[in-house]
Amino acid sequence: MRGFPPIQIFLLVLTFIVLGIPLCQLTGTVSHAKAAPAKVVESPSVKTLLRLRYAHKPATLSLKIADKELITGIAASPIELQTALPSPKDGVDVFLKATWAEGTPDTSITLELEPDGFASRNETRWSSGGSLDEVITFEWK
């Protein structure tokens, strides 16, 4: 004995409707709550001692942190200065450019940062071909 097809179709549609109502409520609910405005938090700057050492005096020297030129002139090694770093927890990118007179052998530059309340970090980079153009990233965790 076979079932009556209109009743079977009715029961199938009824099953989909019963299952569709909770599914529609779960996936179709839209929250109309307004998002809170994003707070712009100024990252605190940290007082930092910056020290730059080199073996051979460069012809040109440039050191930038966060688009702020810190060293433009050339002095005897080491160069020390006090500066303020943006939040060191996020890491600090230092842009270092230097050139040397022709005939100067490949040489090194060491950059050391000592922020207040954080460990001292230093990085050494070697020039090649009488020039150096580096982005040095310092991170504190």
Q: What is the pLDDT of residue 11?
A: 92
The radius of gyration of the chain from alpha carbons, rounded to an integer in Å, stands at 32
Q: What is the pLDDT of residue 100?
A: 85
Q: What is the pLDDT of residue 31?
A: 66
Q: For every one of its 141 residues, what pLDDT tens digit does the chain have, with 9 covering 90 and above?
A: 678 888 999 999 999 999 888 888 888 766 666 777 766 555 577 788 888 888 888 888 888 887 788 876 777 778 888 888 776 667 788 888 888 888 888 888 888 888 888 888 888 988 888 888 888 888 877
Nearest partner of 58 among 114, 109, 121, 7, judged by Cα: 109
Q: What is the pLDDT of residue 18?
A: 92
Q: What is the pLDDT of residue 84?
A: 83
Q: How far apart are CA 72 and CA 133, in angstroms?
A: 14
| 101: three-class secondary structure by DSSP | coil
